[in-house]
Amino acid sequence: TDSPTFAAVDLGASNGRVVVGRISGGLLETTEVHRFPNGPATRPDGAHWDVGELFRQVLVGLRQTGAPVSVGIDSWGVDYGLVDGSGELLGDPFHYRDSRTDHVAQSFVDSFGAPELFARNGLQFLPFNTLFQLVAENRAALGAADTLLLMPDLIGYWLTGEIGAELTNASTTGLLDARSHRWSPELARAAGMDVSVLPALREPGDTVGSLRPAIAEETGLTDTSVIAVGSHDTASAVVGIPAQESDFAYVCTGTWSLAGLELPGPVLTDRARRANFTNELGVDGTVRFLRNIMGLWLLQESLRTWGLTSGDLPALLAEAARAAPLTAVVDAEDHRFLAPGDMPLRIAQACRETDQPVPGTRGAMVRCILESLALAHRRALREAAELAGRNVEVVHLVGGGARNELLCQFTADALGVPVVAGPVEATATGNLLIQARAAGQVADLTEIRHLVARSHPLRHYTPTTTTTPWTHAESHLHPTP
């Protein structure tokens, strides 16, 4: 008999995809059945997600999945929809890159106290965390809201009629207690709402529910349920890391680079707070101790500024490979790069401010971006290892950046540590395998990661230079005290 199939709905900031997978002969086989573009929808009141269109595309994808036993949904973190007592969505969710939190986030932290906040939620300061978005939220909308649903939970609600909040994504809100893993009534109050607006928590592997009859009919899936996965895309990506050893570090690449470690518990020291590390939750009680780095967003926005598309990328990358090494780097964690806009201009500005030459060609600009990312990967991973008392023997680089050979090689060179690249679709892979585990097909994270390593071709990069020129480049950005 055929082994059961699973469907992953993976919603990313630049596109969404629906992937079908099954375990067969000890290997994970996957097929992408649908892919569609996603991005900010600009409205008079700011940047939103067109969640109606996203849901329509999810249904188009599900119709092509055959007959999976379950569906799992993941997306970027922090963003939410507000739902009233009759289940109606109160307007399209805001996009986390919207500027409405620009001024409120820092002043909230100043008045609450940065150490007090970190002691409770364990998160790095990102101006768009749900907590700060709620402070900036329209009071009328918040007053009318019965329930707050994070994006994957909102899609799950529309599919099943069941309300809940999956834990890994809940940990990105800033409203979850870092120690107890429960919603914090105090933080909810500070955000201007009652904790009862936050739904009951569910864990990866829990059943969300079966498809509502109308959805079952529309998709042709009559015997499929929705399973909670690591619904924060980064949590699913970390599940999909093909690590064979325990002392590994990772960089999950995509619109963002998330660089850090998987730990058994949070690091809530004052040093970790001042280094702006986050303690988000992974599956099985693990902690994702990491920092957000701007990621391929810098490249995507540069392409957009130049009027180019991803089809132009191979030629640009070839130019970047020929450009002179390390002539200028920027701080890829600088929040000036957060909002959509002219990245080459902002990068040029940052180079001038740090007395470095402005990259003179597009190839040189792309090289500057990739070297800056590699340097930020190095910095985050070295500091994470330091703060957690770990060694980094190998770096797993997963997600879209795993197909960017320059990014992988630069990361290995900057760190002086080997990089194992792949899978590109780590998030969908992690999503599928948590469903497979819920169905009894795999036992635990260790087995999942062996399965991923066997199933995906991985690329190995060893350092080709010394780390000295990288240390020198870094000194332009972060002078050693």
User: Which residues make beta-bridge pairs with 6?
Assistant: 21, 70
CB of residue 350 to ligand LFR, shortest distance in Å: 22
Which of 76, 183 has the CB closer to ligand LFR? 76
Interface with ligand LFR (CB under 6 A), residue from 256, 277, 410, 470:
256
* Stretch 278-297 residues interacting with ligand LFR (CB under 6 A): 292
- Residue 233 annotated among the catalytic residues of the structure: yes
Q: Does 78 participate in binding ligand LFR (rule CB under 6 A)?
A: yes
CB of residue 210 to ligand LFR, shortest distance in Å: 27
Burial of 139 (0-12, 13-18, 19+ CB in 10 A): exposed
Active-site residue, selected from the candidate residues 79, 233, 331, 413: 233
Q: Does 6 participate in binding ligand LFR (rule CB under 6 A)?
A: no
CB of residue 251 to ligand LFR, shortest distance in Å: 12
* Stretch 226-255 residues interacting with ligand LFR (CB under 6 A): 232-234, 254-255
Cβ atoms of 374 and 329 within 8 Å: the answer is no
Residues in Cβ contact with 466 at an 8 Å cutoff, skipping those fewer than 6 apart: 416
**What phi and psi values does residue 408 have, to the nearest 5 degrees?**
-65, -45
Please give the Cα distance from 458 to 374 (Å, whole number): 19
Stretch that binds ligand LFR, among 73-81, 84-92, 342-350, 453-461 (CB under 6 A): 73-81
Pairing of strands 419-421, 257-263: unpaired
Q: Does 375 participate in binding ligand LFR (rule CB under 6 A)?
A: no
* Stretch 176-205 residues interacting with ligand LFR (CB under 6 A): none
Residues in Cβ contact with 183 at an 8 Å cutoff, skipping those fewer than 6 apart: 170, 175, 176, 177, 195, 198, 201
Q: Does 49 participate in binding ligand LFR (rule CB under 6 A)?
A: no
CB of residue 126 to ligand LFR, shortest distance in Å: 6
Q: Does 96 participate in binding ligand LFR (rule CB under 6 A)?
A: yes
* Stretch 9-28 residues interacting with ligand LFR (CB under 6 A): 13
CB of residue 76 to ligand LFR, shortest distance in Å: 4
Interface with ligand LFR (CB under 6 A), residue from 76, 157, 250, 297:
76
What residues act catalytically?
A: 233
- Contact residues for ligand LFR (CB under 6 A)? 13, 76-78, 96, 232-234, 254-256, 258, 292
